[in-house]
Amino acid sequence: MSLLKINTVDRYLIKETTTSILLIMGALLAMFAFFDLLQELESVGKGSYGIVKIVAFVLLSTPGHFYEIVPVAVLIGSIYSLGQLSRNSELIILRVSGMSILNIGMTLIRIGLVFAVLTFVVGEMITPISEKTGQRMRIKAIDSVIAQDFRSGLWVKDGKNFVNVEQVLPDAQLVNIHIYEFDENFEMKAINQAKTGTYNGESWDLTDLTQTNLAKTNVESTHLAQSEWKSLIRPELMSILLVVPEKMSAWNLYSYISHLNKSKQKTSRYDIALWAKIIYPLACLVMVLLALPFGFLQQRSGGAVNKLFAGVLLGILYQVLNRVSLHLGLLNDWTALTSAVLPTFLFLMTGIFMLIWVERQ
């Protein structure tokens, strides 16, 4: 059977399976949106953060949830659809009419391919922008802090001051900080430059600080080994504004890895994140193959609820294994490809083994 040729039976399978996947996906997205809404309601009244902005934030978070749940929705939706076809004896009719499991699998792969492309597009073009927009809107509304990242580093409006941080480390430590202080007339009155900044719970401990006071008649400079800096900026804010590798697009990851290589810096975490971005959408193809045996197992044992529950557990297991594999790969210095592909490969082998077993029954 050609992968591109679609007959009446193929269209029927595609329609039934796609409908089930979309229903499951809608239910999961609604659940995540509900939990996000409950969590954000705790912040109502802080600054200008009201119901309208909360709803906007929840909607902007939806593409990120979509990206995470697509493989799970494909697995559960495919299992449910095949279970229904099995219960109505439609799969038996297809087999008797000469359609093999391989033929059915090729039809389902088309569905998986569509969702794989959709996952990649959402993860590359929509999620990075929507999540960053949502987080910045929330921060601006709650803390009245405006922030933006440029080639020169991260810029934050802190009250009447503007702060430039050249680098934010994963533990939220600030490196090379420039604080530009302004008075009520928006005239610059001081420039403070510090080597590092570490949050102590209430304020920032700055090291190697140079204070330059700009008076109307003269300029005075003072150097301090350590100093305290009180600011609206908090570690949670920096971690939100800092684009972690897992949230970056594949193209941005590739560009940043090239930059780190030129600077002879370690790229392990970014290499793993890049391969994970490439491999993750392919999980949709694996999930439809893993779901296929459940349609035929339904004829012999258990009920639809049991098979659906098994699908949910497998989906959760895949997400857990995926995260664990990425962390273990980083800790144990595995190759980036191995860390990213291991969970998907294990599920693919499980699906193939189950298909062979079902075929021999």
Query: How many Å apart are CA 44 and CA 54, to the nearest integer?
Result: 8
Contact predicate 286/347, CB 8 Å: yes
Say what the pLDDT of residue 77 is: 92
Query: How many Å apart are CA 104 and CA 292, to the nearest integer?
Result: 8
> What are the residues facing 155 on neighbouring strands?
148, 164
Say what the pLDDT of residue 282 is: 93
Report the predicted TM-score, pTM, of the whole model to 2 decimal places: 0.76
How many H helices and E strands in the chain? 11, 7
Say what the pLDDT of residue 303 is: 63
Query: How many Å apart are CA 224 and CA 208, to the nearest integer?
Result: 6
Say what the pLDDT of residue 18 is: 94
The residues spanned by each domain of the chain are 8-142+245-360, 146-232
Residue 5, SS3?
A: coil
> What are the residues facing 219 on neighbouring strands?
214
Average pLDDT by stretches of 10, the chain with 361 residues: 62 91 95 93 83 92 93 92 83 79 86 94 89 81 61 74 79 84 85 90 89 82 89 71 72 81 80 91 92 72 69 88 89 88 92 83 67
Say what the pLDDT of residue 188 is: 87
